[in-house]
Amino acid sequence: MPLDLLLVTHISRRHREQLTQAGFRVHRAEHDERRREVIAEHGDSIRAVLTIGTIGFTAEEMDELPRLGLICAQGVGFEGIDVAAARERGIAVTHGPGTNADTVADHTLGLMLACLRRIPQSDAAVRRGEWQNARRSHPDLHGRTLGLLGMGNIARAIAKRAHYGFDMPVVYHSRSPKTELPYHHEPEARRVAEQADVLVAALPGGPQTHHLVDEAMLTALGASGVLINIGRGSVVDTEALVAAIRERRIASAGLDVIDGEPEVPEDVLAEESIILTPHTAGLSPSALEATIALVIRNLQAFEAGEALVTPVP
């Protein structure tokens, strides 16, 4: 009998077909009303859930599914899943570390270049017929100091590109130093901001990182500094960021994620020095294929009673 899988996040039809071909019965429930309908009809048979970190899965939702044994977070993040509640109920939780690290790292370098070289602003000026006015000098990325908040798979991929591709010194903050890496570890996050020309937040969400990048951190980054956030929107205090941009306490910012997304505050939209992408840093054909392949491997291991491939630590 096929394993019944509750799908509470959007994936493409092709990836749904891959799940079906792998032997799973997929129940789409991307919206609250549809989820209630699916649970009412199939709740007693659903054994696994596929979600993402920002959607998560709560203890109350777990209690509606008496046979639930596995929750898969499609990407690396799992902050919205009540992991403690899952463990209390004997429900395993997996995630997808490393599946999109290269894609996110590429996007991050793109945001760095866009911010420093003001590429979107130059494009807009040319389209307005302002060719001569747009021909201005902008800072290089080459040789600048990269500060990283976090040193997981994504941050490592960013550091490698920056250090070996752009000759950027790298300083980072993480819970413990990574002695195998040729970069400088700082035990205090603010010390990273003080040394960085470009500060990249590559951190998961949750209470421990909430508004870690605050007014003090932005001030430490300095008037010529650039902030990039490709982790979780909650890591950056948006009001403090807008104020820092307006008061020229930092030069610019590139945000792939923002607190409260998909809603974006008008104050953010009004600042041309804040470059925005809609949480797409990790989206590429290769990354999505790797993510779904890992989900399938975890589901198959669960169904076979074998060790899960990437359990949440």
Active site residues: 232, 261, 279
Whether residue 229 contacts residue 276, with contact meaning beta carbons closer than 8 Å, is answered with no
List the one residue out of 116, 188, 192, 195 whose CA is nearest residue 155.
192
Whether residue 78 contacts residue 49, with contact meaning beta carbons closer than 8 Å, is answered with no
Query: What is the rounded CA–CA span in Å between residue 250 and residue 228?
Result: 12
- Give me the residue label for tokens 């130059």: 122
Q: What crossing angle do the helices spanning 13-21 and 285-304 adopt, rounded to 10°?
A: 30
Give the type of residue at 257. Answer: V
List the one residue out of 146, 7, 154, 8 whose CA is nearest residue 77.
154
Residues 6+ apart with CB under 8 A from 40: none
Residue 149 β-bridge partners: 173, 201
CB under 8 A, 24+ apart: contacts of 92-97: 92/302, 92/308, 92/311, 93/311, 93/312, 94/70, 94/295, 94/298, 94/308, 94/309, 94/310, 94/311, 94/312, 95/53, 95/310, 95/312, 96/290, 96/291, 96/294, 96/295, 96/310, 97/152, 97/153, 97/310
